[in-house]
Homo-oligomer: A and B are copies of this chain.
Amino acid sequence: MKKLINAPENVVKEALAGMAIAHADLIDVHFDPDYIVRKGAPHNKVGVISGGGSGHEPMHGGFVGYGMLDAACPGAVFTSPVPDQMLAATKAVNGGKGVLHIVKNYTGDVMNFEMAAELAAAEGIEVASVVTNDDVAVENSTWTAGRRGVGVTVLLEKIVGAAAEAGADLATCKAIAERVNAHGRSMGMALTPCTVPQAGKPGFELAEDEMEVGIGIHGEPGRRREKLAPARDIAEMLAGPILDDLPFQSGDAVLAFVNGMGGTPLIELYLMYNELARILKDRNITIARSLVGNYITSLEMAGVSFTLLRLDDEMIKLWDAPVHTPALRWGM
């Protein structure tokens, strides 16, 4: 296992310590229970928190800051955080206007966030939850009943974070979050596997001429394994199911998000974006906003995911609103 680590069991805590120093202007990191919290929390607004297994960086800790998340709960690598973390984070960001939990649809995450919400409610904190399930690849998966939550989560955290920052109440934040999830679809693929530090070996194997289409962000199986193909064919394999599922239609304006799985050179992501743009143009779908880069990753996995979000005017306004986090920043 080739990794820049000291001991597998300390990776998450040592990375959190580094984040705390690198972004001391934006965040504080609390240990035991572990959570990343926006500087100066609680703020006089709806608190927005998320969390999930580590190994998907910058998601979610890199999205804590002005205009996005108030806290993030990192679990062990590819392992759900525990209710104690979520409860502590919920209490830390509760400014009296309630707290929204943004949960990716994985069994452990959903169960633990539900438990944390109950515990928080018992302490008098109003909690609402939204579960993202945008991955069109499979209907159920290794770690999921129903579709997996993937790329839309990033976009949703930005958009809802902006709404909360602007003073939207908890019900409104939840409604916007549900609208974003309802209008977004994703699918990904992998060229190579990745290795969880505590496992010490790759989670699966792919031959030199194979790829996994429809892969999950933990390397869980997708739709099919097949021979490596040119970028334009891979783009069709991902975009087709996404477009047909919502379905996206001629005249739609979308946010096009091309995401690297962690080990993919940026030059390949822009090349894939070029393919996606061509496909969308052919269908008379306008790219109104875009995001290209590594935002929801699977350690060092090489691969790409596409996410399309059908935009409305309010979503565009919220997307464009200022944000200042370690991994997303604009307007300030």
Contacts and interface: CB of A to CB of B under 8 A. Distances in A.
Contacts of A275: 18
Interface string A220-251: 00000000101110100000000000000000
Contact of A18 (B5, B272, B294, B332): B272
A304 B287 CA distance: 34
A4 B266 contact: no
A268 B4 contact: yes
A261 to B, nearest CB: 10
B18 A277 contact: yes
A171 interface: no
Contacts of A262: 263, 265-266
A69 B127 CA distance: 46
Chain A interface residue bracket vs B: 35 or more
Contacts of A234: 4
A6 interface: yes
Interface in A256-296: 262-275, 277, 287, 290, 292, 294
A133 interface: no
B17 A267 contact: no
13 contacts: A4-B231, A4-B303, A5-B231, A11-B267, A14-B231, A16-B270, A18-B271, A18-B274, A18-B292, A262-B266, A294-B294, A300-B302, A329-B330
